Structure 1
Amino acid sequence: MVTVQPQIVLVFCGKRKSGKDFVVSMVQEALGALCDVLRVSAPLKEQYAKEHGLDYEKLLDSSSYKEQYRVEMMKWGEEVRARDPGYFCRLATQTAIKPVWIICDARRPSDMKHFSTYNMVTIRVCASDEVRRSRGWKFVHSVDDGESECGLDDYKCDISIINDGDDQMLSNDIKKLKEIVISHCH
């Protein structure tokens, strides 16, 4: 279980292929040893892989392997969340020890509700559909119109980061986010 409470929790959300992982890696680089990067989806994928005899590591990346199991894995995850909405959030943070937690994959209002009990800053990573397509996104029925992609569409995040390829704008956004974090950690 968590022994160290975070000073701040950065909760990232956004559509598939918006570049959440890329932006989070930049934030992680900017913050260095202050942060733990945590995935709500990791414990879900780990349990799903165990129960279904699948390769957990392949379910973590953006491969076609993950895509062939995505719909069924999402259904399974929804069944677990129906019984316990914070289950995967608690599992994701149980080994966190740094003062800054970066949740890189919030998908549902229940994720936001869980992390709202901490000093939370929410960040939506946005990219145009054209840019997302250039990154390999194709609309998939029951995925792109499902809760895991649309559950936070109406959620008002504290910060919006446009990740359409403007490196200077992205760099400025990362600097601003770092300033917010540093102000909460001292």
Structure 2
Amino acid sequence: MAPLGGAPRLVLLFSGKRKSGKDFVTEALQSRLGADVCAVLRLSGPLKEQYAQIVEGISQPIWLVSDTRRVSDIQWFREAYGAVTQTVRVVALEQSRQQRGWVFTPGVDDAESECGLDNFGDFDWVIENHGVEQRLEEQLENLIEFIRSRL
């Protein structure tokens, strides 16, 4: 199934544990790059029909998929968009996640939707979001520089 909408110049697939800061990072990137350049997309499930609906009518050249959860998600985007697809893992220490309100929940934190990419290991980017603002800022600047080079 061919995706609908304009072909993106860059698709960044963000993944990470609950309260690691995926939404925070994608929103920070969008606010700096501009909503006219950068679309934030959220996956609601693993079905390819949903992927096709998600990409329909998106005009921005940069797509940030904020909640990639499974290897099959990455595979689908790589098959659909090839070399413009990049994976970004947002990591945070358990202590940092707890400070943001995370509490281990059986059936959620040990489910495939939360652990499906734990052993993926081959991420193009890793963003450390342990609560050190300066370190996060440096990493965001590197990623923004890369994104701008693709525009």
1:116 partner SS: helix
The Cα RMSD (Å) is: 1.4
8 Å CA contact 2:11, 2:85 repeated in 1: yes
Distance 1:159 1:107 in 2: 16
2:144 partner SS: helix
Aligned-pair identity (%): 41
Deviations 1:74-120, CA, capped at 9 Å, x for gaps: xxxxxxx4xxx423322222231110011000000111011113211
Q: Structure 1 counterpart of 2:87, which letter?
A: T
Q: Which residue of 1 aligns with 2:63?
A: 101
Distance 1:15 1:108 in 2: 12
2:146 partner SS: helix
Q: Which residue of 2 aligns with 1:11?
A: 13
2:89 aligned residue (124, 146, 155)? 124
Is 1:172 aligned with 2:134? no
Distance 2:113 2:135 in 1: 28
2:58 partner SS: coil
Distance 2:143 2:105 in 1: 32
Q: Which residue of 2 aligns with 1:30?
A: 32
Q: CA deviation at 1:25?
A: 0.9
Show structure 1 runs of 5+ residues with no match. Answer: 45-80
8 Å CA contact 1:2, 1:97 repeated in 2: no
Q: Structure 2 counterpart of 1:183, which letter?
A: S
Number of equivalences: 144
2:124 aligned residue (131, 145, 158)? 158
Q: CA deviation at 1:38?
A: 0.5
Rg (Cα) greater in structure: 1
Q: Structure 1 counterpart of 2:71, which letter?
A: P
